[in-house]
Structure 1
């Protein structure tokens, strides 16, 4: 009797053990919580583009939080960074990247095509660039709201005040002024839109924007372009003869070369203005190459290398690396610019990069913001540019860094 009881007990224990281990083997992996994602290690073997993207996602779980935003807003920095995510997704179709971009659009594009926080009446050309994200969203879903949102931004360009010579004002509050920044903010979207929906009928107008800034803002001595041009020559920062601001700012020049390589995506080779734009890109690139520091980087004030207070700056250097690499890859620039771009990228990753224990990365020495005029007044002086605040992983650096990494396959 006792023997039978012991045998039964053994069988029961074996059954329970077998069930326990069977269940353990078959059980699904635990669902990742936000906390577990935040604790995830970013592998050192990943490409720099993925490292930066995953860093941003880890530090800003919602894409509208980029730039430490406290609420969702339609903004150029989100447009820039999330465009880099779109390009990354093409090379590495990780669903998290597409989802991150979509999250931004979900937060801001309403069912009737209106855009939360966007105010068309301000005629701020900075607000156009995030519209580049809408083309892909519309292609994928054919949802009317994305088309209507694009049409709304196109309406702004139709109504955008212009200089007498036909260049878009930077903002309504900055009359008669073109800034280099504005070429990136407006022209790639404008070119993409007119090719997609208007049979390219306004490509001449896109080219005209570059023609105007090239004609008026280029310095004949260095070949560099000044940050801003005031056609009226009324602004205190404007040269009374030329209307130009007094200094060369590397990020403004970065916006300009990125605007050229991105807008050129939509110009057919046989378009009469295509060669002209490629010429502008070659001219400014040759000029910029002369001011590259031995570290591979460029200074905040481009031509004042080594002057007290000046510093090697991350956003402009990332933008040049991207534009030069893409320019070579697209056949616009001679191959030597790929070497220049790689040297710049080496400078970014060895001189300005910090790597944390969890594998996240931080790009340092990025100017946070700079402009002309406004309140408090910004005079465009050397002292003004070198004393503006810096911000680690500023989106004006991280977006172009991802784009440069992709073009260089780093």
Structure 2
């Protein structure tokens, strides 16, 4: 893998997609000048004979020369989508040994974490569960490099879990500003990091307590957000029933959003990487995973193999086949088969979805740059301006190409297929 010779410069960056020139992104980062010599991946043509996982990762590295730029950020920002792409980069580096990939990850950590362990743009007091996801990148880097600043940053992120506001049954609020609310998104944002951290640093009773707490989050989601008729899960639940989007009887939001369901599936398969084999909650999560995949298959578009933005309303006006959720479903199912959580029967549905992505949502330019199209940029509930969770709301949010919430899962899904 010597088609790329060196990594990206830190201090002079060209943001191709953001269209903004940045310099001196972080004056706290000091690197040996030898690391900043020779050309970058920006000028390289991406070989078309590489696996799709590497082709997409290299395309992301060209679009976003620094990993903090992922999600079209214009300044260094601690942002959960970055971690998904970098998880793929970690796996690809471990496979290939190509330092270009490792440097992309390492530069992100060095840029975002100051020498005192503080994290650029992170505010603990907000108790935003989204902020925990990037902790997985630091867990990887700390185990590789043993830098004290990463340990301090990890301890700060772990302290957020201890202070995170909770529902009456112990479920994490999505954010402090979203009181009494559990969102499907939050299971992916918080639980894999929580489990990963526990597996590295906790022992004995402390670890048991943490694993029990993690499993309880999934139990509560199944209890409160599952639709018994379809097997699908609603985007969110408000225990207080105070939100405008919340049903006054159930507290549920009104629709099944594709990416919310995608986050939940990824949360389950990724938490199982760290949950001990003998933990009693493991079998429950696998049972939730099977129910989930069965429900997802029922709403899979039979012609393309893809999934709609609002999952159960494919025939309604304005709905569209959406890339981020589709990539997440494919990853969840294929990883479940590879890990033997589910039988091989599910592979044909994952394969149909993957082939649908390649055929309908992937484009490649003359320089080998791979793009993933028809990504929902963002969707949520509440806030200001207020997001109602209606069908009209979901289908009218911005659609863009190469959202890392899609390219990251696409890389991970590709890696699962490349194991075959």
3-state SS of paired residue (2:132) = helix
3-state SS of paired residue (2:81) = helix
Query: Equivalences for 1:213-362 in 2 at 5 Å?
Result: 213-294=221-302, 295-362=304-371
3-state SS of paired residue (1:331) = coil
Cα deviation code 1:253-285 (max 9, x no counterpart) = 000000000001111221111100101111111
Q: 2:118 aligns with which of 114, 137, 148?
A: 114
What is the CA-CA distance between 1:159 and the residue it aligns to?
Answer: 0.1
Q: Is the 8 A contact 1:169 1:176 kept in 2?
A: yes
3-state SS of paired residue (2:273) = helix
2:405 corresponds to 1:396: yes
Aligned-partner Cα distance in 1 for 2:396–2:324? 16
In the alignment of these two chains, the number of paired residues is 378
3-state SS of paired residue (1:67) = coil
Flag structure 2 segments of 5+ consecutive residues without an equivalent. 1-36
Q: 2:39 aligns with which of 8, 13, 33?
A: 33
Aligned-partner Cα distance in 2 for 1:114–1:93? 30
Aligned-partner Cα distance in 2 for 1:41–1:195? 40
Runs of 4+ with deviation above 4 angstroms: none
3-state SS of paired residue (1:178) = strand
What is the CA-CA distance between 1:32 and the residue it aligns to?
Answer: 4.4
Matched residue, 1:192: 196
Cα deviation code 1:93-113 (max 9, x no counterpart) = 211111001111111111121
Q: 1:379 aligns with which of 379, 388, 413?
A: 388
Matched residue, 1:127: 131
Matched residue, 1:8: none
TM-score (norm 2): 0.88
- Structure in which a larger fraction of residues adopt helix: 1
| Greater Cα radius of gyration, structure 1 or 2 | 1
Q: Is the 8 A contact 1:39 1:358 kept in 2?
A: no
What is the CA-CA distance between 1:144 and the residue it aligns to?
Answer: 1.4
Aligned-partner Cα distance in 1 for 2:335–2:72? 29
Flag structure 1 segments of 5+ consecutive residues without an equivalent. 1-30
Aligned-partner Cα distance in 2 for 1:396–1:89? 20
Matched residue, 1:24: none
Q: Is the 8 A contact 1:190 1:206 kept in 2?
A: yes
Matched residue, 1:366: 375
Calculate the aligned-residue CA RMSD, in Å.
1.1
